[in-house]
Amino acid sequence: MTLQTTSEPRSPVYFDRMIDAFHAGTTGRHAHLGHWNLRDDGTADDYGTEDPNAFARAQSRLNSEVIRMASVAPGTRILDVACGFGGLIQTLDELLTNADLTGINIDIRQLEICQRLPSVNDNALRWQEADACDLPFADATFDTLFCIEAMFHFASRDQFLAETRRVLKPGGVLVLTDVVLLQDDRMPSFCFDAILNDGYGPWPDPWCESGDATTLLKSSGNWTDIARIDATQNTLPSYGYIAPQHVRDHHAPNDVAARSALLLQWLHTNQLLRYEYVSATVGAKS
């Protein structure tokens, strides 16, 4: 297990609280919305805000979904970009043998938490401080690259995808999840922007004006088998955990992260936020 560092941290604002929560034992290694299976009537299976483990189960389910999309194999090299507290690498480590699993993050504090994770399967676990738009790896290094719920923070989706294409081997697979906000005239854009960036920033291109992941992958000509799954409804119930009623009642007026969570909930509930899973395979260079 190795940890390399290069620069000062620049992590999203809400992670100050998440790191405290991790150390207090009130949050686990997954820092994403999770995935709820839906019944025929559209309600979430297994949802219950009284059950403290339901959210963690939903988060494990999201990991299973993205791992299934990637068809990961033993003995391969896998990169998790913006690895959070190492939850996805922990899941991969439990599944695989002879694998080389690397997590990168902009925030050294999260990587220090990752570094405490032992491999249960004698896989090589590596952690490195790096910016997703400037990956410190040679061309054609990895078989699979994941990026879960983080791309909206990056300075440029396009630059990140170019870096992804560069560090993946020919035939290598990318699986990401991303949040796309949709324009709406019910609220002026500067409100979205200010509230989002205060609590959940950096979020430089909320409306994907430079293109969403699928558009960018298609237009680059370097990818094949591009697939998108709309998981908007599968992620929606999670606000019952990240923005519960007591946050709404007591924290929202003065707490920037709580305000951002409530804004995201409002957008998500009003179909102004699309949560998507995207996969693609490195094809021939155009």
Ligand X SMILES: C[S@@+](CC[C@H](N)C(=O)[O-])C[C@H]1O[C@@H](n2cnc3c(N)ncnc32)[C@H](O)[C@@H]1O
Q: What's the min distance (Å) between Cβ of 248 and ligand X?
A: 21
Instruction: Considering the complex, state which of residue 24 and residue 284 has its C-beta at the smaller distance from ligand X.
Output: 24
Instruction: Considering the complex, state which of residue 106 and residue 173 has its C-beta at the smaller distance from ligand X.
Output: 106
Q: What's the min distance (Å) between Cβ of 89 and ligand X?
A: 10
Residue 7 makes CB contacts below 8 A (sequence gap 6+) with 129, 131
Instruction: Considering the complex, state which of residue 63 and residue 214 has its C-beta at the smaller distance from ligand X.
Output: 63
Q: Determine the interface stretch with ligand X among 89-97, 149-157, 163-171, 263-271 (rule: CB under 6 A).
A: 149-157
> Which amino acid makes up residue 119?
S
Q: What's the min distance (Å) between Cβ of 39 and ligand X?
A: 25
Instruction: Considering the complex, state which of residue 143 and residue 149 has its C-beta at the smaller distance from ligand X.
Output: 149
User: No. of H helices and E strands in the chain?
Assistant: 11, 8
Burial profile 197-228: b = 16 or more Cβ within 10 angstroms, e = fewer: bbbbbebebbebeebbbbebbeebebbeebeb
Q: What's the min distance (Å) between Cβ of 103 and ligand X?
A: 9
Site size for ligand X (CB under 6 A) = 21
From candidates 82, 114, 125, 180, binder to ligand X by CB under 6 A: 82
Residue 257 near ligand X by CB under 6 A: no
Residue 206 near ligand X by CB under 6 A: no
Residue 150 near ligand X by CB under 6 A: yes
Restricting to residues 176-205, name those near ligand X by CB under 6 A.
none
CA 152/CA 149 separation, integer angstroms: 8
- Nearest in space to 261 (alpha carbons), one of 248, 277, 276: 248
Instruction: Considering the complex, state which of residue 32 and residue 77 has its C-beta at the smaller distance from ligand X.
Output: 32
Residue 34 near ligand X by CB under 6 A: no
Q: Which residue is nearest to ligand X (CB)?
A: 84
- Nearest in space to 192 (alpha carbons), one of 152, 229, 230, 231: 152
Q: Is 159 exposed, middle or buried (0-12, 13-18, 19+ CB in 10 A)?
A: middle
Restricting to residues 94-113, name those near ligand X by CB under 6 A.
105-107, 110
From candidates 35, 69, 77, 84, binder to ligand X by CB under 6 A: 84
Provide φ and ψ at 4, rounded to 5°: -115, 145
Restricting to residues 232-251, name those near ligand X by CB under 6 A.
none
Instruction: Considering the complex, state which of residue 5 and residue 43 has its C-beta at the smaller distance from ligand X.
Output: 5
CA 266/CA 258 separation, integer angstroms: 12
CA 281/CA 91 separation, integer angstroms: 22
Instruction: Considering the complex, state which of residue 72 and residue 148 has its C-beta at the smaller distance from ligand X.
Output: 148
Dig out the tokens for 134 from the structure: 């400037």
Residue 268 in contact with residue 240, Cβ under 8 Å?
Answer: no
CA 79/CA 1 separation, integer angstroms: 14
| Contacting positions for ligand X (CB under 6 A) | 11-12, 15, 30-32, 82-84, 87, 105-107, 110, 131-132, 148-150, 153-154
